[in-house]
Structure 1
Amino acid sequence: MKNATAKKPSRIQTRNRRLILDSALEVFSRDGFGGATLDAIAKGAGLSKPNVLYYFEGKTEIYVTLLSQLLETWLDPLVELDPQGDPVEELLGYVRHKLDMALELPAESKLFAGEILQGAPSIADYLKNDLKPLFDKKCSIIQDWIAQGKLADVDPAHLMFSIWSTTQHYADFGAQISVLLSEEDPAARAHQHLEQMFRRLLAPVN
């Protein structure tokens, strides 16, 4: 950020940064990084382009800032998976949380998906240094639950991929879902279906 000082940002500065980031989220999730422009971000924020450049060096800094904030939010449900909890209920809770996030934060989901589809140029280090250790740790917990007979014998890594794909589908393919389903809000049926599907998959064989 330009003109950075040690002083706490004013209320107006905080508001303007929020307006810029909110506008940028919509622009990036709709147009992708390549198609997004500072002009479109400024217009959506109700600010001039020079005003946007007062707060951020350029499009890349805005994009990286958004991704950094998103990744922390995106990781929270996985971090909260409790090894001391009931395995099936912990994983079903994770499914519910991920689906809620997809339904409530579709633009954020599309932003993340767009970055991954481009080969993760801005978050490659994050995937390697932050997500990978956490992913391995949680997969190990799931494998321990399986070994203890508390879960069905599933592949932990591919279970996680299945959870991510089925929940984020409701955000990333929302336009298709709105055409194919007659109801305006698919949330209730989506929750019911995914819970039923994963409960059957995860329930240990007695």
Structure 2
Amino acid sequence: MLSMKFLFFAIALTEAFVKPINNELISRTLDQSPCSCPKLTNVAHPCESGWTYYNETGACYKNFFSATFNTAEQLCITVGGHLTSIHSWKENLFVAELAKSGISLSTCCEQATWIGLVQSPYLDSNWTDSWMWTDGTKVDFLAWTPRHPVKEGIESNRHCVVMYPDPFATNITETALAAYQKWSNLYCGLHMRSFVCKKMALH
């Protein structure tokens, strides 16, 4: 008799636990439960793949290889930008870091990097002594190496500008050693080791 009472009690207890919960109660309980999961947000990439974003300018930069000044500028235009303009020492260091090869330079010129500074007569038939950026921005910063820009004599047709992103080897002249991360004007038809394009970010 005792065992039968225990059986009925066990069945009643089981039904109490497995009885479906009211749908309204489920809904109310879920609404009130705090969610500890992090909210996922869409992080937009400011630059296309292969380009590097610089927060100070809100622009994207990319280092390309082996071209004359004209070819480099045309390629930059094709990808939506221009040869890089530089408007501060901080931006100058950023571009130098992007373009450096990590190898000390052993020659003066072809191992340098084209930037977008050009002497205006190269773009305009009216001769002036001014310099301009190919992207049309204001020339408000310059970082010439000692004794540059070259203006006189047979070298006066040096209309385009390079940066030296790598230091020179110690057996180079004192002037060359001082050119690290600085600029000089050279012949636009030279094939430089690299060139840096710059364009505005995607947002």
Which TM-score band (shorter chain)? under 0.3
Whichever structure has more strand as a proportion of its residues is 2
Larger Rg: 2
Work out which structure has the larger RCO, using CA pairs closer than 8 Å and 6 or more positions apart in sequence: 2
When the two structures are superposed, what TM-score results if normalisation uses the length of structure 1?
Answer: 0.22
The structure carrying a bigger helix percent of its residues is 1
Scaled by the length of structure 2, what TM-score is found?
A: 0.22
